[in-house]
A and B are shown apart, each in its own frame.
Chain A
Amino acid sequence: MANVRINGEDRALDGPDDTSLLWGIRDLAGLTGTKYGCGTGLCGACTVLVDGVSVRACQATLEEVAGKEVTTIEGLDADGNHPVQVAWRQANVPQCGFCQAGQIMQAASLLNETPNPTDEQILESMAGNICRCGCYERIVAAVRLAATGA
């Protein structure tokens, strides 16, 4: 059993402490919004927030987040209306959508730390998240929109 706090709830997950946070979230906590894309920290599809900061869930274990607050896409906002989510919809960002939870969590983390990022900061912060469909132009526009409202 591993005790983890996910989306404001204390969860006892039925797996060893060294279970990957990604698979703990997906298979043990049953929250499938967080995606597997590479398992090696290279794509960002698994991005979640740990104490408000983006973490690649595939690169962390359950024990490493013990006592910390894990936020997944499902918990980012109760109504799904976090400014980043709203901006994502306004800008019609997704194509297939598979990378988008990770992109949104990464953008939310960026804006937590840097509410008014420059373009360079946006590009740098988002460069760890691959979008095979190629939505980058809209991703960058949506991050700007979420930050500035325009």
Chain B
Amino acid sequence: MLHTIEQAVLRGPVGKTAGLAISKVSRRSFLQGSAAVFTIAAVASEARAFERYETGGNSMPHGLRYDPHIFVSIDADGTVTLVAHRSEMGQGSRTSVPMVLADEMGADWNRVTLVQAEGDEPKYGNQDTDGSRSLRHHVQSMRQMGASVRHMLASAAAKKWGVDPSTVQVGVHEVTSGTFRAGFGELAAAAMKEPVPAFEDLTFKSEDEFRYIGKGNIQIYDLHDITTGKAVYGADVMLPGMKVAAIARPPVLGAPPVRYDASATWEVAGVEHVLGLEVSIPPAKFAPLGGIAVIAGNTDAAIRGRDALEIEWGSSPHEEFDSAAHMAEMRATAAEPGNVLRTVGDPDGAFAGAAKTVEREYSQAFMVHATMEPPAAVANVANGKAEIWAPVQSPYGTRVDVANALHMDPADVTVNVTLLGGGFGRKSKCDFAIEAALLSQKIGAPVKVQWTREDDIRNGFNHTTSVERIAVALDAGNKVTGWRHNSVAPSILSTFAPDSGYQFFIESGMGHVDMPFEIPNISVENGKALAHARVGWFRSVSNIPRAWAVQSFASELAHELGRDELEVMLELIGSDRKIDIKAQNFPGDYWNYGEKDEVYPIDTGRLKNVLRLAAEKGGWGKSMPEGEGLGLAVHRSFVTYVAACVHVKVVDGLITVPEVNMAVDCGFVANPERVRSQMEGAAVQGMTIALHSGLTYENGAVLESNYHDYRMVRADNFPRVVKTHMVDHPFSVHASGAGEPGVPPIAPALGNALFHATGKRMRDLPFGDMV
């Protein structure tokens, strides 16, 4: 998401490189097996190319790469080493993306080794792992590189054996022609010297020839390491002579430490340094918040020393911020007309002439990511170079930001990416890596910065709070003739540029201006709300409050009209069509997740299809016992369509979820097993959002501090059965992603189900786990 924000801030071109020379690619030996055989006809006339389509990957900074030399090397023993250039945070990209390449080239996955790319976009192309983009942007390039390697192996074999290329077959990890047979390893050196074929000259596997793609039969690469404690996350990096820092950050944004007493800190055995870090105040992008750092020989001493500091914090323009008062202000703002972002027809006329109007207001509190792994990073700044080890979603962005903070050239900075113990957008922001770098530079030794859970809850980047007010006009026949949706929420942009109080195009594109209903008169509005917290993006971003509001409203409207919700939801969406964004007067800066509308249109047929599928699988319409109910919601986000049918059962006042049926249409699916795990995780996270996730600010500071008051859904009460129903598509139906779009429909479907179970309508997130 970052690049688009920078675009919005700078109003300049994206994709500017930082003037880095492209590092030398390793031109080691290339491609060494038996089973399914794939015939390659290495000539253009026989080419069976898949139809290429353009994705937003091309316009991401540093775009995409198609040269297999960058991503593939093959040892003489046949070991295939593939580069994983996306960050792994649980979504599966580190496995699924290289798996596509491996399948297309004919590699045996058991003989594939992965190396994680360091942050180097001029070499690898875009690495910003965010926005549910990994497969959407890279499935084609991975197939192309895989096919290229297959062709190069075949050409090398044909030359070596002096046979007609058309007789050469590439099987699994081996190449044959008549009685000739060679493993990938034997041919690797010669294959590397073959020219990389043009796309047009490539043949591609037909879908029935895939062994891994679309099968879900490959386990995640790190599975054994994870289950044996060998997997390396940010805090697991240990360097010789490394010190550990814990930092006391301002409880109120921008409040400087005016006085502090470290005498108790110095009594903690192992404390070596107490250092000030410059305090920042938004807009400061990912600059560290600053404060007082305590550096010690181990983490225990660092945290104890930090906790023993007595600090008097100075004043800040945000010191009076109170989230309850702010919510009341946002509600008042939402009741007034906002800036109009999209108008269709004559909404004022429709409301003026309405036989009836229905109006409701929904809200969401601030949230934090609370990734299981709190932020942690290691830096070693020495001899004019900086090396970072960190769990970051955007390793190249981290490299540039660290270089800027250290006043170094990015060429002198290396960013190694560890596994991420959860990301959810938090680890797109590299403040913790910058902290480690600054401290290492100051003390001249390697430093690990460890955030405590309290730090994470109180000093994070918040998912914004919002009020969403929706009204419809109805005619005498109860037909919806007008729609007005005013969204009021502090903007992410306030972290990057002086705060206007208004949403920007990315936020507006997430379930607000792209509202897909077929209604003749529409007004999409945005009211002002200033930010007094550091706002950042959180998995699914603004789609969460918008789906919450719109899908809860659809259910309320159905109830108001005494009609079936499924019918009303389908009717609101209207006819099967690809929305004509011009005719529907979408704003000029309408953001379709960075994709062209022609390639990834809003397809209401697909939207309705997933809704019907979830409803059918969830048993919509069946009669439910007392205290139980079903609820529906559907939402398109990240160009993926997801619907949920949630079954709620209230047990002694406790909200429980026996079953969730999720229908997902994310185009062609490369790894259904990981799509399933993402939907399961989304159901859990969605339930946490609905019941628990809310931060409270008083006097500018966050009150919550750890998992006792910032609660998570746990094993004693979670969506017990999550059934994922994927709409099956061929490769020609453009792949999208699954990391984020599962989340938005959960809270509204849960709220709608709760209404049916209890008659109580929830409008404010979070609403607690008891009714």
Mark A residues whose CB is within 8 Å of B.
15-16, 19-20, 22-24, 26-28, 30-40, 42-43, 45, 72-74, 80, 85, 88-89, 92, 94-101, 104, 122-124, 126-140
Q: Is B683 an interface residue (CB 8 A)?
A: yes
Task: List the B side residues contacting A19 at CB < 8 Å.
Answer: 298, 300
Q: Is B712 an interface residue (CB 8 A)?
A: yes
Task: List the B side residues contacting A20 at CB < 8 Å.
Answer: 300
**Known contacts A24-B300, A27-B298, A42-B706, A32 near B235 by CB under 8 Å:** yes
Q: Is B696 an interface residue (CB 8 A)?
A: no
A100 to B219, CA, bound (A): 16
Contact of B715 among A22, A36, A40, A129 (CB under 8 A): A129
Chain A interface helix/strand/loop/mixed: loop
Task: List the B side residues contacting A16 at CB < 8 Å.
Answer: 269
Task: List the A side residues contacting B680 at CB < 8 Å.
Answer: 134-135, 137-138
- Are B372 and A132 in contact, with the CB atoms below 8 A? yes
A37 to B230, CA, bound (A): 17
For residue B260, give the distance in angstroms from its CB to the closest CB of chain A. 22
Task: List the B side residues contacting A36 at CB < 8 Å.
Answer: 235, 299, 374, 450
- Are B707 and A130 in contact, with the CB atoms below 8 A? yes
Q: 0/1 per residue, B231-259, Cβ < 8 Å to A?
A: 11101101000001000000000000000
Binds A, one of B312-320, B417-425, B547-555, B661-669: B417-425
Task: List the A side residues contacting B238 at CB < 8 Å.
Answer: 27, 30, 32
Task: List the B side residues contacting A42 at CB < 8 Å.
Answer: 453, 706-708
- Are B707 and A43 in contact, with the CB atoms below 8 A? yes
Task: List the B side residues contacting A139 at CB < 8 Å.
Answer: 715
Contact of A39 among B219, B453, B684, B713 (CB under 8 A): B453
Q: Is B685 an interface residue (CB 8 A)?
A: yes
A92 to B681, CA, bound (A): 13
- Are A89 and B677 in contact, with the CB atoms below 8 A? no
A118 to B299, CA, bound (A): 39
For residue A134, give the distance in angstroms from its CB to the closest CB of chain B. 3
Binds A, one of B127-135, B595-603, B717-725: B717-725
A121 to B251, CA, bound (A): 41
**Residue of A with least CB distance to B424:** A132
For residue A77, give the distance in angstroms from its CB to the closest CB of chain B. 8
- Are B222 and A97 in contact, with the CB atoms below 8 A? yes
- Are A130 and B712 in contact, with the CB atoms below 8 A? yes
**Residue of B with least CB distance to A88:** B227
A104 to B722, CA, bound (A): 22
- Are B374 and A34 in contact, with the CB atoms below 8 A? no
**Residue of A with least CB distance to B719:** A137
Q: Is B605 an interface residue (CB 8 A)?
A: no
For residue A95, give the distance in angstroms from its CB to the closest CB of chain B. 3
Contact residues, B344-398 vs A (CB, 8 A): 370-374
A102 to B295, CA, bound (A): 27
A48 to B350, CA, bound (A): 64
- Are B715 and A123 in contact, with the CB atoms below 8 A? yes
Q: Can you list the 7 inter-chain pairs with the closest CB atoms, starting with the nearest?
A: A33-B229, A134-B684, A98-B421, A96-B90, A95-B90, A73-B229, A97-B226
- Are B298 and A28 in contact, with the CB atoms below 8 A? yes
Q: Is B220 an interface residue (CB 8 A)?
A: yes
Q: Is B223 an interface residue (CB 8 A)?
A: yes
